[in-house]
Amino acid sequence: MGNIDKLEKAAKARAEAEFLELIKIDAPSWGEQELAKALLPKLTELGIEAKLDEAGNIYGYLPGTASLPPILLSAHMDTVEPSKGKKAIIEPDDTIRSAGAAVLGADCVAGLVEILQGIRLVQASGLPHRPVEIIFSVAEETYCEGLEKFDFSQVKSQDSYVLDLTGKIGAAARRAPTLISFSATITGRAAHAGMEPEKGINAIAIMAGLLARIPQGHLDEETTCNVGIIQGGRMINIVPESCTIKGEIRSYNHEKAVGIARDIERLAEEAAAAAAAGAVSEFSCKVHIHSYETPTGSTAVTRFLNACQNLSLPGELTETFGGSDQNPLSLHGLQGLVLSNGMYKMHTTEEYTTLEDLWQGSRLVAALILSEV
């Protein structure tokens, strides 16, 4: 790694310039085409065979110069709203902040830059390295929809590293939850609330009873449930015919999350059945991401910890209660970690990163590629 360290000043300058270049490109979920156009020639310049799939995901392959198994590196191209017109302010201490009207886009441009720069460091070192696969995905922020359309049959790696975690470089999440969204509707009967309310079936009243029976908040140490939206009624002088709630369930235990969704469906049916004749319930749910847990003894974890030790980074194993592209990667058989890429206050207009984080993240990517584990 000595040769790499000698390039620190030039590498930092390039990382900063590339970060500022890429965040200027608008890339909302399912609108990442211009960013992909900017990334493809960069990958080609690095000798990476890269292509776009029908969804807009970028897949790339860099042949190795050492007889080692490949690893997959990934970051997403889309940015949460407000994303249009992203601008950066560089502080004297090399903190890079959003100018305030939009998010900065470090989530996840920091990850993109660190992967590109890490590969450059490897190539500049002249050291033998393993093959590398790359996925730059679209629509990660919308529950990893982009990778739902990705052809995983082309992937050769068994280990993956997704650069998409908040915090200082050297931390990595090895597990994340299942996330299920749900919707429950109670349909009753409308009637004039002043003239003949007894002819109506009040869907809001029935829903109130259902809400009282749905457990919310932390159900246990690995599971949460939340009802975040309630909609019902048309006018104050009409007995409300319909009421709908929408919410989500998260759990590190996939079967438990599915079981809670089924419980809510049953409770909705019971609430409608217990009301006046004619009330009915309707329930739907969707599994957006599937939980995973990467074993501490896996090669993905061992390689990460060794790389951190060599670079004097913390090497902290943690967990996240949010999702990332590692969820679908794990579902398709890749054991991996979500690495911190040095982004802070993401999903807000106060988002920031630092030049030092971009540099350290690049060094970590290089160390993972060069690792003999």
Cis previous bond, 144, omega within 30: no
Task: Return the closest-CA partner of residue 162 out of 172, 148, 149.
Answer: 172
Tokens 């259902």, residue located: 210
Q: CA-based angle 117:121:125, to the nearest 5?
A: 170
Q: Using an 8 Å Cβ cutoff, are 335 and 164 in contact?
A: no
Q: CA-based angle 75:169:152, to the nearest 5?
A: 25
Q: Residue 366 in 3-state DSSP?
A: helix
Q: Using an 8 Å Cβ cutoff, are 358 and 114 in contact?
A: yes
Query: Which of 16, 18, 78, 241 is an active site residue?
Result: 78
* Parallel, antiparallel or unpaired: strands 316-318 and 171-173: parallel
Q: Tokens in use for 18?
A: 């590339």
* Parallel, antiparallel or unpaired: strands 335-343 and 159-166: parallel
Residues in the chain: 373
Query: Which of 18, 32, 140, 325 is an active site residue?
Result: 140
Whether residue 140 lies in the annotated active site: yes
- The backbone region for 161, taken as left when phi is positive above 0, alpha when psi lies in -120 to 50, beta otherwise, is beta
Whether residue 107 lies in the annotated active site: no
* Parallel, antiparallel or unpaired: strands 280-289 and 178-187: antiparallel
CB atoms within 10 A of CB 306: 16
HEC string of 83-139? CCCCCEEECCCCEEEECCCCCCCHHHHHHHHHHHHHHHHHHHHCCCCCCEEEEEECC
Tokens 């609108």, residue located: 31
Q: What is the set of active-site residues?
A: 78, 140
